[in-house]
Structure 1
């Protein structure tokens, strides 16, 4: 196994060097594609749009993203994957300390283990949900022309899916955050999680109790796994000091890339969705008389998108790690609460007076 990993790492470094040499001019595009796969965009862009378009798909998207990222965390702790930008400095396979020079960027210095890629896994599972949802709304073909149109739509959507996944993977390899085998593993893992939820209809009728129990299970399992390995003298946060040591710029190290930061963010989102879907505001607005009106859905979607973009300006203090986790949980929980309950309810109440006047 060490021989295989050294082989993958060494060849991965060669691929990264070639990408950085040949595609340096495409940095802006590759950086953009890296952000396309960023887990936070799932909650601030994809989810608000899809939830107002189709509540079933929006709900499934949150579950897939949260469970997929949770599995990603557990796999990272099991696989102990190195990241290229520090591996070339730590490995002993290069003679006379002649380690290759990999260029670093502001998005390079992630602090968690590298395998599998969280960006690739999150992007593949969420886009899988979107593509399958879009295809499920196409009419079952009967006529010859309809069959041809259906096949063309199927080909276009899946081609778009793979174009996005390949671009996200290349971007993560280009900035020396992941080796090629790590992004491939991430894409496969994301598709498996998304496909599993295609056969799990129970999430659409989940009660608040179910959401709370799921949240508690995910937290306790991750915490228990972490403490168990600590008792065995295995430090699951081994990658953080190495990342800080070899990052070219200390300002590029962010606490929100640590393993527990992602866990807290996801638990907050699922917690907030559970409360929002089981609230009176949701029943009155998104399940009320206005829910079928295109104008209501359009207003909810645009207002949600605009509101969530303001979230980027809310900076959480990072001086105290425990306080950061608490505030991060609250901020994440407020996202689905705003999108699912608060904003639709406010728009619903604003639309009522005009209806009464008419």
Structure 2
């Protein structure tokens, strides 16, 4: 794999040098492709346009990111730490730089590419069934995958082959969107995924396999403040399980959603977006880590409850006329 990794480093160097004037664009694209954006941005937007599509987006985002977490347990490297750990560049250091989004933890494959490929397939396939020029959404979809992948290479977060591996998750979008489990099934599934991953993690640790990449990130990240606990693999696990649990509770509480016309839906979207923005900005204590992960889990349990039940319910209460 050394040859593959080395070629990836030189590709990242070339990309940074040739597109240095578009740095802010790459950073914006990588933020848009963040799996967290699927829960806080794409899900509420699609839900208030098409309720079934929105539910599918959240379901596919959670499962695809959870599978990405499982694949990360198979190890891999990230460019920003592999440059130093490999000692292949001691004599000739590549002319590359790091960015605030670079120093994520957890290696291969690319979660950004994986979640983007899965959730946007759900959206473009829905659009393609309504539009006359049905090829247009798929062309935009392909351009988006390429842009997100290049942004991850540009910031030294992933190697090219990791981006390609993540993009294959379009298959997940096709398969998972065909059927979304009911409320009770989602609640049990959330608990099962959480317990199953913890058992697998503890089993690998007992075999002497250290799965934490946080020490490597701390060692080679150029700015310590760029390393955030909410980018750790276990944060992704709590996010996914919390979102599935919240979606299951929301579907049990209000299975068909609230009947809203176009204007109340737009108002619900605006209020939900503001609520999710402040929930995302809510600071969490990083010590002890157990408290952080517990609160992070609860934060994403609230996300579907807020979008599906609480805000539309209040809007329906104030706008409903007998």
| Fold shared per TM-score above 0.5 | yes
What residue in structure 1 maps to residue 115 of structure 2? 122
Q: Distance in 1 between matches of 2:64 and 2:83?
A: 29
Q: Distance in 2 between matches of 1:125 and 1:53?
A: 19
| Runs of at least 5 residues in structure 2 that lack an aligned partner in the other structure | none
What residue in structure 2 maps to residue 174 of structure 1? 154
Q: Distance in 2 between matches of 1:246 and 1:181?
A: 21
Aligned partners of 1:316 and 1:324 also within 8 Å? yes
What residue in structure 2 maps to residue 247 of structure 1? 221
Q: Distance in 1 between matches of 2:183 and 2:247?
A: 11
| CA deviations over 1:261-284 (Å, ceiling 9, x no partner) | 11001111111111112115x65x
Q: CA deviation at 1:97?
A: 4.4
What residue in structure 1 maps to residue 174 of structure 2? 195
Aligned partners of 2:183 and 2:247 also within 8 Å? no
Q: 1:304 to 1:202 in 2, by over 3 A?
A: closer
What residue in structure 2 maps to residue 145 of structure 1? none
What residue in structure 1 maps to residue 202 of structure 2? 227
Aligned partners of 1:89 and 1:99 also within 8 Å? no
What residue in structure 1 maps to residue 86 of structure 2? 91
Q: Alignment partner for residue 335 of structure 1, among 303, 309, 313? A: 303
| CA deviations over 1:198-226 (Å, ceiling 9, x no partner) | 43x252xx132x11211122112211111
Q: CA deviation at 1:85?
A: 0.6
Q: What's the Cα RMSD here?
A: 1.5
| CA deviations over 1:220-277 (Å, ceiling 9, x no partner) | 221111111111111111x210110000011111011111011001111111111112
Q: 1:37 to 1:14 in 2, by over 3 A?
A: same
Structure whose alpha-carbon radius of gyration is higher: 1
Question: Are 1:302 and 2:280 counterparts?
Answer: no
User: Hey, which bits of structure 1, 4+ residues long, moved more than 3 A?
Assistant: 96-99
Question: Are 1:108 and 2:102 counterparts?
Answer: yes
| CA deviations over 1:113-138 (Å, ceiling 9, x no partner) | 2x110011111111111101112234
Question: Are 1:270 and 2:270 counterparts?
Answer: no
Q: 1:77 to 1:135 in 2, by over 3 A?
A: same
Q: Alignment partner for residue 23 of structure 1, among 16, 19, 26? A: 19
Q: Distance in 1 between matches of 2:148 and 2:289?
A: 30
What residue in structure 2 maps to residue 147 of structure 1? none
Higher helix share: 1
Aligned partners of 1:111 and 1:244 also within 8 Å? no
Name the TM-score, length of structure 2 as normaliser. Answer: 0.96
| Runs of at least 5 residues in structure 1 that lack an aligned partner in the other structure | 139-149
Aligned partners of 1:48 and 1:304 also within 8 Å? yes
Aligned partners of 2:113 and 2:149 also within 8 Å? yes
Name the TM-score, length of structure 1 as normaliser. Answer: 0.87
Aligned partners of 1:73 and 1:259 also within 8 Å? yes
Aligned partners of 1:85 and 1:102 also within 8 Å? no
